[in-house]
Structure 1
Amino acid sequence: MSVTPPRESPATAALASQLGSVLRLAGMGAWAVDFERGEVSFDAYLLELLGAEPTEPPRLSRPSWEALVHPDDAARQKEHWQQCLRGERDDYRIDYRLRRRDGQWLCCVFRATVQGRSPQGLARGLVGSYQECPDTQRRQDNLQVAASVFTHAREGISITDPAGKIIDVNEAFTRITGYSREEIIGRNPRILQSGRQSPEFYAAMWKAISTRGHWSGEIWNRRKDGSLFLEVITISAVRNAQGVLQHYVAVFTDVTSERDTERQLESIAHYDVLTGLPNRVLLFDRLRQFMVHCQRRSSSLAVAFLDLDGFKAVNDQHGHAVGDQLLIALSRRMGEALREGDTLARIGGDEFVAVLVDLEGSEDHQPILERLLSAAAKPVALGRQTLQVSASIGVTLYPRDYADAEQLLRHADHAMYQAKQAGKNRMAMFDVAHDAAQASQRQNLADIRAAHEQDQFVLHYQPKVNLRTGEVVGAEALIRWQHPERGLVPPGQFLPVIENHVLSTVIGEWVIASALRQMSHWHAAGLQINVSVNVGARQLLDPGFAQRLQALLAAQTDVAPDCLELEILESSALEDMAQVSELMRRCQALGVRFALDDFGTGFSSLTYMRRLPAEVIKIDQSFVRDILSDADDLAIVQGVIGLAKAFRREVIAEGVETMAHGKVLLSLGCELVQGYGIARPMPAEAFPGWTQAWAAEHPPAPVAAPAPPPPKTDR
């Protein structure tokens, strides 16, 4: 059985200090050499012997220390250090002289042992003791003082001979152990052994005393009355000037009550006071260990977040005392439903977490959690009344859900709420793929929000022209994302992300404001261009949209409101036709125009045309694209143009990819077009130059409109 050396506690440090005082009064002190740092350190006793101020640092560099050594002793002292450093010896005992502050020489016996070696075998340092060379009267005085400390110390002290036979103990020793001085003198300290420490423990302890000269730690011993006590003890070997072992001195303190208090505090820190179950702190500690175990065993574990259904009603109706009794009973019952090795923890009022370990199959958790559900739902008899609640459980499996401990608990919590929403008294599994999609959505929203805050969005403008007159009649503002890493991102890659999010309103209004500012710049430069912008469904259904639009228009007083055209999709108006129609009229009262975008793709285009007061109808590009080859699309386009004229609406075709498309549209009576056949969307600064080039190639030349072809009769 291996024993981990106990950590040093404040009590251990205090005992070490006490022992240091005893050794000092006996004319001994401690010192150390750090070869790697080139530093010699020592206790305050050496400062006193050297006549230095007690406030001076108890350390010197190697050169400073060697400068203190008597010239006749310096070579011998250096040689011992070099032998230890090179590995030629592990310890030594020599005496040499140090210069005091008053110029006199202080003779000391220095003992040292190597403390650790580098991979190359070089000693890292030395540690040891020193003692002033024999001075009978001074040592006699010190021994008298040491005897007084020995007698009256609160710590138990025992002294043995080299064979381990006790030759003296102090009053504190007899008080702590229950043995009188007469009973213990001549006995071996083994009489106190409790049996809790193994032979290997004591072998390691005596090895440390033999090699280092001392050992400190914790030992369970037994009093005369048989009761156990925990002591923090320091045992030191005492040698004479020639290095011969004379005694062993043990100084110890009974820390049993302190350790009991520590255990109680640890219990409070790691266990739920009411139920005795592990709390959140211990749960996470165990969960992390279980996760490491899973990785080593290639197994799985389940984290189940359990919330009691109806517990609040029990508390409200019967009081917290009854609620506590119910929690205690359910905790015991649910714990019995789990397997040995599983963990049930209470992390909140009526919230529990079960961790199921060593799962081999993907469904191994199912029967265990069903038992847990059943245990929570069974009636509980408390006195004369019977209470019943149920549980909702959310489950996630590791490593299928490859997350850290905190995330696993959050994921199980999310699944628990799904179980609640599905009707309670059931379990729900965390969907890793769905969560990944949600996480991606959250990240995309965060990126888009940051892009807006950092002015990464820009508008490009696609011209609208009148093919009959050659006039540039306007432009459609189309948003682009000037991404610092991905370059120019088209709207199809980010607008769907915010379609049902408040960001769609924020960015939509930014588009309107930016388009108005751009028109102001163009108008000031003599370029009279009207601009249309797309308005999403969320904006249309926002009661405050018209008021904010009025504020945006007021900010650009040099732009007439009728220069702005708002394009809405048929599908945007589907949710509340009456509300959208009313909003359009309020905006039109401000002077703004409307266009019905992608016309023909909705469920009831005629209804939209009749009920929505749009001035312009835009023929969807999906119909325009194939009018040169598809008779059906040609007929649809012809029909839309006819409807627009019947309802006295302007009509414009989008998606005009070639001038051949334009000629057909013109022949059908549609003069206004936009599309790649005219121009691709372009930055605002390129638009004036394009209009000049277009005007040069297409000077105004009114042309008589040809009669539209007769309607098809073979359909």
Structure 2
Amino acid sequence: MLFSRIITMDIDVNRAQNDFVIFPWNDNFATGIAIIDEQHKVLVAILNKLANHFVQESSAPESLACVVQELADYADFHFKTEEEVWHKHFSSHPLLTSHEQAHHDFFVKVSEIQHSRNNLEEFADELFGFLTRWLAFHILDNDKRMALATISMDCGADIDEALLSANQDMTGSLALLIRAVLDMYGELSANTIDLMKQKIARQRLEKELRDTAEQLVAEKLIASEERYHILINAMPDAIIVAHMASARIIDANIATEKLLGYSPQQLRNMQVFEIHPPATWAFHRENLAKLGAIEAPEESFETEVITSAGKLIDVEVSVHGPLLLQGQKCLVGVFRDITERKKHRSQLEYVAYFDELTGLPNRNGIKRHLDQLQAQSDKNVLIIHADMDDFSAINAQYSSEFGDRLLKEFARQASASLSADTLMARLGGDEFLLVIEHIESPGSIDTLMTALLATLQQPVFVDGIDIYITVSAGVKFRASAEQTSSEVILRQAAHALYMAKIAGKSRYHVLDQAQENEQRNKHLLLNEIEAALTNNEFELFYQPKVNMVTGAVSGVEALIRWRHPTKGLLTPGYFMPATEGHKVSLQIDNWVVRQATNQLLRWYDLLPDLRISVNLCAQSIQDPDFPSRILAMTTSGHTDVTRRLAIEVLEGSAMGDINTASNNLQACRDAGMIVAIDDFGTGYSSLSYLKKLPIDCLKIDQGFVRDMVNSKDDIALIQGFISISKAFDLSTVAEGVETIEQGKLLIAMGCLHGQGYAISRPLPVAELEHWLASWQTPDAWRGSDICA
């Protein structure tokens, strides 16, 4: 049964190892977004399944078509998942549209191939060639770019800054990785199919040989020496049979001579560990003894063998036993040359972790180094993101080839000048990263950075020319106890570099961790706000504005509140400052106007004279579509409530483009809306500014009203505001009227309209309606003297 056992063992190992796959997965393909990475792995698995299906069932094209359809169906599911992820960050951005178009083009191409009239071989060549290159590009370029930008935004960057950073990353060593992998996988997609076919053919031959061996056993001819050598020498891989106790080689096949250069006769005089390099003999002796102590030893591993000419060859060894031969327990080893496999693996490893131009670690390489340092929690580390100032000008003056030679020489010169505890990497373009270990404390950073910039800014000699450069740098200090991922650290260092660039050339900026935390918290809050809009967690409260003398209610101001699921009712001061300048502020404005409009419709007959004021952000006022958007909401349906809506804007909201703001506000006034300047006195407050804006009302900021009873300066300012209102024929409303005395003083100065807690706090709709039915102005205000 020895020969049958040898052949059976080899077939099982081949199946278990699954040596050839058309698209080997590599962890460097990970985008950093878990759900997308998991689905990419499934796509790769289906592609490999498709390749195996073709090799093993090439006579069944209908079966192959089923697997192609499986791949297309899963790709459709994956694309929908992706687009859902990307929509959260890139909604309405052209990049998302382009990405969705790429998904559509994939199905068009697969459909073309499926319906082509090529024979099976041509069909498979075209299909696998397209799928391997498309999938590698989809993962490494399209999705990687989107993921890098997404991670940046999750760390606090806005969309433009995030995309700029992602594009910079994608134009450096990562771009080289993509090109190298596309070339490598294009070649693998063709070569691997051939290798897989050869493997399957060999497995079929081995099965026939095994069946023959079993037949010989049944016929009691297995002891035939001639039959023995026919069977063992038919095996394509090297086979060595060794005595378990002594390690002496008992037999070997012809393929062993091809691999090692020793004839079977020569090998019979050797011990099995002697075919390995001498430095590994002790290991192999110990391993042999370990296997000998196991009842049914089985092991597969990679190692090196040394040929008769002294050449080292990488092999994969599969060991099985025990086998009885000549009354002795033996082990059988199958040796397979994996030189090409190791070569491809090494190539992929290099392009994955090293920069092709400079030989320095690339982004992946430096991330791996940072992760290793993270595991050594006793080390403080300084991370420095540096780039050359005006490198593009050097490229323009000389050439991009000259620029490459400059980068290469700069990298050589700089890395040679750095201390042993500093690792330098190239991120791409003219951007480099330095990681310095053993930093005592943040207090030493300034001294270190001054010296480092001096080192990096030495003249670089290229093509007989001294190039004088300056370098800017962003600095991140990571304390030994800090548990921040390498990706986040790189983002933080990049942000610090951005701040250094703003300050000028040859500068460095040390990341302010408190500021960074504030930025991240702001980003998280913005995400919460967007989710709250979707989940209907906001509501409007209303604060009345009244004529303090007559008690007549002139209107109510709509004030947003957030009924947070865990934090309770939140006022605007908690969340609105974070929205300034962000797209969500427009979404909030639209929501507020829509809710106010709906409330006006409900009050249309009940409170026909009541006007609702809404506060709008600067982005809305500066948006050319602002008037049409507001009118679309106030005139929908059969009832027009436009004339019962008032708009309140802060003084600074119109200053970005005063002409656009003026035109927008005039369009609202023409439609019947009232326009008021909110918090007057806290912004620009110039007469020319008031002259240019079409407004109806000034609202005096509560800060002046709060202290007016005890402050002659505040009284003088309020009198001035009231005089300005009269000069421009505007009405005036005082905010923050909290006491009877304040109201009396305002009335005496000629400001009759007020808003504040002395009148009413902001109220939900039900309480406001009850307040309207019971409100009466204080007696002290009714008899107040009014300034003429």
After TM superposition, the score normalised by the length of structure 1 is 0.69
Cα distance change, pair 136–372 in 1 and its aligned pair in 2 (3 A): same
Alignment partners' CA distance in 2, 1:583 and 1:257: 69
Which of 588, 603, 606 is the matching residue for 1:507?
588
Q: Displacement of 1:282 after TM fit?
A: 2.8
For the pair 1:225 / 2:309, whether they are aligned, the reply is: yes
For the pair 1:284 / 2:367, whether they are aligned, the reply is: yes
Q: Displacement of 1:221 after TM fit?
A: 3.8
Q: Displacement of 1:289 after TM fit?
A: 0.7
Cα distance change, pair 339–149 in 1 and its aligned pair in 2 (3 A): farther
Which of 420, 445, 461 is the matching residue for 1:340?
420
Between 443-452 and 577-586, report the one with greater CA deviation.
Answer: 577-586
Cα distance change, pair 18–660 in 1 and its aligned pair in 2 (3 A): farther
Q: Displacement of 1:326 after TM fit?
A: 2.9
SS of the counterpart of 1:197?
helix
For the pair 1:528 / 2:609, whether they are aligned, the reply is: yes
Q: Displacement of 1:292 after TM fit?
A: 0.9
Give the structure 2 partner of residue 266 of structure 1.
349
* Counterpart code for 1:475: V
* Counterpart code for 1:682: L
Which of 692, 695, 699 is the matching residue for 2:773?
692
1:213-362, aligned counterparts within 5 Å? Answer: 214=297, 216=299, 217-234=301-318, 245=328, 247=330, 249-256=332-339, 258-260=341-343, 262-293=345-376, 295=377, 298-362=378-442
SS of the counterpart of 1:343?
strand
For the pair 1:674 / 2:755, whether they are aligned, the reply is: yes
Give the structure 2 partner of residue 150 of structure 1.
232
Residues 667 and 708 in structure 1, CA contact (< 8 A), matched pair in contact too: yes
Cα distance change, pair 312–699 in 1 and its aligned pair in 2 (3 A): closer
**CA offsets per residue over residues 146-191 of structure 1, 9 Å max, x none?**
3322344444444556645555444334443334455554454465
Q: Displacement of 1:300 after TM fit?
A: 1.0
Give the structure 2 partner of residue 428 of structure 1.
509
Cα distance change, pair 205–323 in 1 and its aligned pair in 2 (3 A): farther
For the pair 1:20 / 2:102, whether they are aligned, the reply is: no
1:541-690, aligned counterparts within 5 Å? Answer: 541-555=622-636, 558-559=639-640, 561-570=642-651, 572=653, 584-599=665-680, 614-625=695-706, 644=725, 648-659=729-740, 661-663=742-744, 665-666=746-747, 669-690=750-771
Residues 247 and 273 in structure 2, CA contact (< 8 A), matched pair in contact too: no
Structure number with higher relative contact order (C-alpha < 8 Å, ≥ 6 residues apart): 2
Cα distance change, pair 252–576 in 1 and its aligned pair in 2 (3 A): closer
* Counterpart code for 2:229: A
Q: Displacement of 1:406 after TM fit?
A: 0.9
Where in structure 1 are there 5+ consecutive unaligned residues? 1-15, 26-130, 710-715
When you count strand as a share of all residues, which structure comes out higher? Answer: 1
Cα distance change, pair 471–366 in 1 and its aligned pair in 2 (3 A): closer
Residues 468 and 703 in structure 1, CA contact (< 8 A), matched pair in contact too: yes
Residues 373 and 379 in structure 2, CA contact (< 8 A), matched pair in contact too: no
Alignment partners' CA distance in 2, 1:589 and 1:226: 95
Q: Displacement of 1:685 after TM fit?
A: 3.3
SS of the counterpart of 1:523?
coil
Alignment partners' CA distance in 1, 2:539 and 2:632: 22
1:463-474, aligned counterparts within 5 Å? Answer: 463-474=544-555
Between 244-253 and 450-459, report the one with greater CA deviation.
Answer: 244-253
Residues 193 and 220 in structure 1, CA contact (< 8 A), matched pair in contact too: yes
**CA offsets per residue over residues 615-673 of structure 1, 9 Å max, x none?**
44444444444566666656665665566556654444433334555455555554433
* Counterpart code for 2:442: S
Cα distance change, pair 582–628 in 1 and its aligned pair in 2 (3 A): same
SS of the counterpart of 1:524?
coil
Alignment partners' CA distance in 2, 1:554 and 1:579: 23
Q: Displacement of 1:386 after TM fit?
A: 4.5
Residues 334 and 372 in structure 1, CA contact (< 8 A), matched pair in contact too: no
Q: Displacement of 1:435 after TM fit?
A: 1.7
**CA offsets per residue over residues 492-526 of structure 1, 9 Å max, x none?**
22232223434434433443443333223212235
Alignment partners' CA distance in 2, 1:429 and 1:641: 49
SS of the counterpart of 1:476?
strand
* Counterpart code for 2:508: M
Q: Displacement of 1:437 after TM fit?
A: 1.5
* Counterpart code for 2:292: I
Cα distance change, pair 551–468 in 1 and its aligned pair in 2 (3 A): same
Residues 415 and 429 in structure 1, CA contact (< 8 A), matched pair in contact too: yes
Residues 541 and 560 in structure 2, CA contact (< 8 A), matched pair in contact too: yes
Name the % identity.
32
Residues 374 and 483 in structure 2, CA contact (< 8 A), matched pair in contact too: no
Q: Displacement of 1:288 after TM fit?
A: 0.6
Alignment partners' CA distance in 1, 2:660 and 2:490: 44
Residues 178 and 224 in structure 1, CA contact (< 8 A), matched pair in contact too: yes
Q: Displacement of 1:491 after TM fit?
A: 2.0
Which of 258, 261, 277 is the matching residue for 1:178?
261
Between 428-437 and 554-563, report the one with greater CA deviation.
Answer: 554-563
**CA offsets per residue over residues 84-124 of structure 1, 9 Å max, x none?**
xxxxxxxxxxxxxxxxxxxxxxxxxxxxxxxxxxxxxxxxx
Alignment partners' CA distance in 2, 1:542 and 1:481: 25
For the pair 1:479 / 2:560, whether they are aligned, the reply is: yes
1:486-497, aligned counterparts within 5 Å? Answer: 486-497=567-578
**CA offsets per residue over residues 325-359 of structure 1, 9 Å max, x none?**
33332222222122335322233233332222233
Alignment partners' CA distance in 2, 1:561 and 1:249: 91
Residues 338 and 368 in structure 1, CA contact (< 8 A), matched pair in contact too: no
Greater CA radius of gyration, 1 or 2?
Answer: 1
Q: Displacement of 1:140 after TM fit?
A: 3.7
Residues 462 and 682 in structure 1, CA contact (< 8 A), matched pair in contact too: yes
Give the structure 1 partner of residue 536 of structure 2.
455
Cα distance change, pair 558–209 in 1 and its aligned pair in 2 (3 A): same
